[in-house]
Amino acid sequence: MMTKIHQLNDKESLRQQRNLTQSQRKNNLYTKEGVVVNSFVKDCLGCENNINETCDTLLISQDAKMPSRLNETPVSREKNLAPIAGAALGVMGIIAATSFYINKSTEAALTNAEAKKLQDVTRNVNLSKETHQVIYQIVHSPNKKTILAGMGVLTLSAIAFMGKTFFDGFKDVWIKKKEADIQKNLQEELIGIETQSFSGKMQIIRGMLAQNAMKFKKYLSDEDQSNIAYQGKYKTLESVSFKGQHKNGKDRQHGMGYFLMGAATVAGIVGFGFLSLKFLSGTKSRINASLGEKIKELGEIIGKSTAGTMENDQTRMMDLFKIIDDKSIIEKNINSANWADEAKKEFIKRVNTTLDTSVEKAEKTIAGSGVPKPSFNSFVDDYIAFCYNWLLDTQNKQFKQLFFGITGLTAATYGGRLTGEAIKDIQVKKMNAQTEVNLQSRLVSTELRNFKAKKDASIQPLIQDFYKQADCGKPKSELKTMAENILFEIKNGPPFVYS
């Protein structure tokens, strides 16, 4: 009886189906159906009424049990309302925290001392792109020079953008073509590796068939079998060991290694901590030594200071006071100066105000006057800026040389970087493909061991049941049926060679 099977969906089968004619494709599918049916369908099942023969044919063991976790039902306790409640409370909590923050910030702004308040800030708008600066100049000063220079800059920007787009696309196309060649070579390399894996699996099956067939002959021959004992002769499945498993000795060695690694880590942490404290102690001593030198320098300035040199001396002393930052030392030195008492008090007040102030106002030329209105600045870092400068003054030959030199350097740098990145990407893809080939080649032995282990896991219980039945005195005709089906299972049973 022929049964319909589904077509394979792997890429290789699809490629073969596309290359076949309609008649070849039809014959190919019929051949696959015949192979599957001939391998797995037995027309003689159920021809006899003897249930023992059916059990032997189907390799049904009387000791087989269902998995203990077959009827295990995981219990899932979902809490649908908890996330909703948590989200609602979380949002309201964030709103409450924000309100609290606004309240505290307002209190701090209103109650903070004048010297501790943040300074007013002018909103500076920086025109860092040359195209933005050009538009600003056209809007601010629309004249012949700014308009012509602006149009020249915008035209050059468009040319640069289109050129960059073209070369980026050319790079992507070139990389894609090279990647296709790399993939083709990779697939050709993998054919040999996959052939080794396929051949190895077939060799494993042939070896298992030969070994077990020789063992079965001892029980199916007419020789005396009284000296053949099942007990202890064959290992159970749990006792089968595979290469790569760690023994207890190695586990102990690994445990000792982990302990030593942990001890070394702790020792390193302690050592680095001690070294850090030592460095900090040295830093503190250096700071104290430098502070002593500054105090000595301050004393020398005050000792030589007079009413005539007081203004210049106070400027030098203010820099030293910012480093010393000790009011008692500052007042002691200022009081010893040869100045008038009012001058001493005024200078001490100014020093204390400077030290107590938390922020410093920036220069008006940089930060503005502090009025919260926009202030425009232009700090351009763009090669197109040299084009604008040249177009504003075409008579300046140095502007022209700057434009061509920096623009040419920018274009050469971009082209070199683009070429380098393309070559790097291709080399990385080549190395990755070679790494994939090496990995697949190394995995052949692992795949073969995996295949052999799964075959043993599938066949060993059947072989054990065969020897148990033989030990119980089962007739040779029935043992022969069991042996044939075991060999059939070795050849055609899971795991399959094609998987």
In a domain, 75, yes or no: no
**Angle (CA) 385 386 392, round 5°:** 95
Closest CA to 469 of 51, 29, 62, 6: 62
Residues 199 and 151 in one domain: yes
Question: What is the structure's pLDDT at 47?
Answer: 46
Residues 3 and 152 in one domain: no
HEC assignment per residue over 290-340: HHHHHHHHHHHHHHHCCCCCHHHHHHHHHHHHHHHCCHHHHHHHHHCCCCC
CA-atom Rg of the chain in angstroms:
45
In a domain, 216, yes or no: yes
- 277 vs 17, more confident: 277
Domain that holds residue 134: 42-55+114-235+248-492
In a domain, 81, yes or no: no
| Tens of pLDDT, residues 375-416 | 777 788 888 888 888 888 888 888 888 888 888 888 888 888
Residues 258 and 340 in one domain: yes
Written as six digits, the tokens of 447 are 């795949």
Residues 37 and 48 in one domain: no
Write the CB contacts of 468 (distance below 8 Å, at least 6 apart in sequence).
Answer: 63, 230
Question: What is the structure's pLDDT at 94?
Answer: 92
The secondary structure of residue 40, as a DSSP letter, is: H
Written as six digits, the tokens of 462 are 């059947």
Using pLDDT thresholds of 50, 70 and 90, give the confidence band for residue 52. Answer: low
Residue 3 has pLDDT above 80, yes or no: no
Residues 1 and 118 in one domain: no
Over residues 157-179, the mean pLDDT reads 89
Over residues 460-481, the mean pLDDT reads 86
Residue 244 has pLDDT above 80, yes or no: no
Residue 136 has pLDDT above 60, yes or no: yes
Q: How far apart are CA 497 and CA 285, in angstroms?
A: 76
Residues 384 and 269 in one domain: yes
Percent helix, strand and coil across the chain, each rounded to 5? 75, 0, 25
Buried b (16+ CB within 10 A) or exposed e, 87-125: eeeeeeeeeeeeeeeeeeeeeeeeeeeeeeeeeeebeee
Q: How far apart are CA 419 and CA 140, in angstroms?
A: 42
Question: What is the structure's pLDDT at 12?
Answer: 57
**Angle (CA) 315 319 321, round 5°:** 110
In a domain, 101, yes or no: no
Q: Which of 118-122, 179-183, 425-429 has the lowest mean pLDDT?
A: 118-122
| Tens of pLDDT, residues 338-352 | 788 888 888 888 888
Residues 332 and 358 in one domain: yes
Q: What is the mean pLDDT of the chain?
A: 77
Q: How far apart are CA 422 and CA 417, in angstroms?
A: 9
Q: Which of 31-45, 103-117, 274-288, 441-455 has the lowest mean pLDDT?
A: 31-45
Q: How far apart are the first and last CA of the chain?
A: 26
Torsion of CA 140, 143, 146, 152, to 10 degrees: 130
Using pLDDT thresholds of 50, 70 and 90, give the confidence band for residue 160. Answer: confident
Residues 32 and 171 in one domain: no
Residue 32 has pLDDT above 50, yes or no: yes
- 281 vs 34, more confident: 281
Residue 18 has pLDDT above 50, yes or no: yes
Residues 167 and 27 in one domain: no
Residue 107 has pLDDT above 60, yes or no: yes
Q: How far apart are CA 310 and CA 329, in angstroms?
A: 19
Over residues 358-369, the mean pLDDT reads 72
Map residue 125 onto helix, strand or coil.
strand
Question: What is the structure's pLDDT at 24?
Answer: 57
Question: What is the structure's pLDDT at 312?
Answer: 80
Q: Which of 185-189, 224-228, 339-343, 423-427 has the lowest mean pLDDT?
A: 224-228
Q: With contact defined as beta carbons under 8 Å apart, do 489 and 59 qualify?
A: yes
Residue 243 has pLDDT above 50, yes or no: no
Residue 140 has pLDDT above 80, yes or no: yes
Token pair 């190895």 in the structure block, residue:
200
In DSSP terms, 468 is beta-bridged to none
Residues 308 and 187 in one domain: yes
Q: With contact defined as beta carbons under 8 Å apart, do 186 and 430 qualify?
A: no
Residue 236 has pLDDT above 50, yes or no: no
In DSSP terms, 125 is beta-bridged to 376
In a domain, 431, yes or no: yes
Token pair 């042939």 in the structure block, residue:
206
Residue 19 has pLDDT above 60, yes or no: no
Question: What is the structure's pLDDT at 127?
Answer: 82
Using pLDDT thresholds of 50, 70 and 90, give the confidence band for residue 241. Answer: very low
Tally of domains in the chain: 2
Closest CA to 319 of 364, 290, 354, 288: 354
Question: What is the structure's pLDDT at 254?
Answer: 63
Task: Categorise residue 311: left if φ over 0, alpha if ψ from -120 to 50, beta otherwise.
Answer: alpha
| Tens of pLDDT, residues 83-102 | 788 888 888 889 888 888 88
Residues 25 and 121 in one domain: no
In a domain, 61, yes or no: no
Share of the chain above pLDDT 70, in %: 76
Share of the chain above pLDDT 90, in %: 1
In a domain, 63, yes or no: no
Over residues 119-140, the mean pLDDT reads 83
Using pLDDT thresholds of 50, 70 and 90, give the confidence band for residue 44. Answer: very low
| Encoded amino acid at 295, one letter | I
Number of residues assigned to the chain: 499
In a domain, 497, yes or no: no
Within a 10 A sphere around the Cβ of 129, how many other Cβ atoms? 16
Residues 24 and 146 in one domain: no
Written as six digits, the tokens of 355 are 């030290």
Map residue 451 onto helix, strand or coil.
helix
